[in-house]
Structure 1
C-alpha cells in the first residue's frame, strides 16, 4: 500500500525532503497561492499549526500556479510573503502542479485516494487533505473550508 511516507518533495529552500520523515505525524497537505481570495487562510493554517504542532501535527504547504496564475512568484518570494504576512512557520515546498500530466506524484496519489466533487481534479487553491499518522488519507476538504473547521478531525486523528 502506498502512503504519504512513500513520497519525496523539494522544500521551498531547494532541499529534497523524504516525506517518510513525517511517519507518526498527522499531516495536513494544502496547495497554496499568495494572490488568491483564499490566501488569508494562511492565518488559520498557522493557527492550527501553533495549536497542534507540539502534539504530532504538521502542515505541508505546496504552492501552485495552476489556478488563474495566482502564485506567480519564485520560491524565495513565496517564502518571504508567507512569513512576512502570515508568520508561516510550517513546512513549505517548491511550487508544483497538482493537476494534469505534470502533477506531482504526491498529488496524483492524494487525488486517487480522495476523489472530491469533480472527480480526481483539484478544484482550486487551498484544497486540503488530512493524513493520519500511518500516512493514509483520512479526509479531503474543499478550498473554501476554513482551517478552524478542521479542528475536530485533527483532534480525532491525534487521539
Structure 2
C-alpha cells in the first residue's frame, strides 16, 4: 500500500503541504544513508494551479490520459502554468494495473504520459492517502471521488477551487474556463 505524508504545521493546510509517493517506487539514500521512498512534493509547485486526477489504466475514461497529457504539454514550459498530477488508484472497479512498472509502461506506451504520476494509492475512505482525505474534507460529500478520473482543481493559493466528475473531460468548456480562472495572476497586494 502506498503512503503519503500529511502537513505537520498548525496552520490550515493547503495542497502544497502534502506529498505523494512517486510511481517509480524507487528508493534513494537519505542523508543518514537510510533508504527513503521517492516522493512527489507538491510544495515544489507552490503558487501554481494543480489539476489532481485519480486515474486507472483499464477504465472507460482511460483515454482522458491523452487530453491530460496535451493539457500538461501546453502548460509545462510555463514556470507559472498548470501542473497535472495523476494518482493511479485501484479503488473503483479494480481497474488499475498491479505494479509501478506496469502502470508506467502502460501510460508511456499508450499515451506518452510525461506529467507526474504518483504510486498506486487509495483515494477514498479511511485508507485514502492524506492528500485525498484533505481534498474530500474540502470538497464535501458530493465532491468525493466516486469513480476513476475525478478531477480536483487547486488554485494558486493551494486551496480547492473546484472539482469535476469523471465524465468532465480535460477539454470540456467548464473545466477549461476554471483552468483559465486558476491561471490568472493573483491580485496585487493592497497597501495598508
Instruction: Tell me the TM-score normalised to structure 2 length.
Output: 0.78
Match of 1:68 in 2: 93
Structure 2 residue corresponding to 1:127, chosen from 147, 150, 155:
150
Residues 95-119 of structure 1 show CA distances to partners (whole Å, capped at 9, x for unaligned) of 10011221100000011111253xx
Could you tell me how far apart the structure 1 residues matched to 2:75 and 2:16 are? 20
Deviation of 1:50 after TM superposition, in Å, equals 1.4
Structure 2 residue corresponding to 1:112, chosen from 133, 137, 142:
137
Runs of 5+ unmatched residues, structure 2: 1-11, 26-37, 185-192
Q: CA RMSD in A?
A: 1.3
Runs of 5+ unmatched residues, structure 1: none
Could you tell me how far apart the structure 1 residues matched to 2:181 and 2:75 are? 12
- 8 Å CA contact retained: 1:48, 1:151: no
Match of 1:157 in 2: 182
Residues 129-158 of structure 1 show CA distances to partners (whole Å, capped at 9, x for unaligned) of 000122111000001101102222111111
**Number of paired residues?**
157
Structure 2 residue corresponding to 1:31, chosen from 41, 47, 54:
54
Residues 10-54 of structure 1 show CA distances to partners (whole Å, capped at 9, x for unaligned) of 111121222111101111000000000000000111111112223
Higher relative contact order (CA 8 A, sep 6+): 1
- 8 Å CA contact retained: 2:155, 2:161: yes
Instruction: Tell me the TM-score normalised to structure 1 length.
Output: 0.93
